[in-house]
Amino acid sequence: MAATKASLTKVSPTSIDEAAMHETENLPTLLSRLGDDVMQLFNSQLKLFKVEIKEEANAYARGAIMIGLGAGITAIGFALLNVAVAFGVSTLFAQANLSQPASYALGFVITGVFYLLVGAIIVMAIKSRLAKQQLVPNRTVEELRKDKQWLKNEL
């Protein structure tokens, strides 16, 4: 029994060499797997980035189409309203001893300037609102931060 116990507790030099050889064989494999995993991680981050950009581009495209449609309808309405207001303003100049074409022209000019000012104010308001919107893909940035921290901890 003593011989069996001694043979169990005794480590042979060949078993140590085999364990060291096994570790050195696994090191390149582990490094290769790590490289593959890092590449897969970057590929998934790139896919996430593409999806987020596509979602944001689609949202902007839908918004732009709706704004364009609304602008077209509004332009028709403004044109009709502008004609009515211009004729109304031109009647104010009836007592100014201007010819009828001159009073119409003055009415249209005054009305046109008014609508140009209102339009410029609207455009500036929309421009400032769009400037405040973030174009950074937040989920991708957050995932990249987490991956950077994970890589720092692993290496």
| pLDDT tens-place string over residues 61-73 | 888 898 899 899 9
Token couple for 144: 């990249």
| Mean pLDDT of the region 85-97 | 82
Domain boundaries, the chain: 52-154
Average pLDDT over residues 129-155: 80
Please tell me the distance from the alpha carbon of residue 68 to that of residue 133, in angstroms, as a whole number.
20
pLDDT of residue 22: 55
Rg, Å, the chain Cα set: 38
The pTM for the full model equals: 0.40
* Total residues found in the chain within this entry: 155
Residues 97-104: what's their mean pLDDT?
84
Confidence tier at 120 by pLDDT (50, 70, 90): very high
Q: What is the residue-wise DSSP string for 9-47?
A: HPPPHHHHHHHHHHHHHHHHHHHHHHHHHHHHHHHHHHH
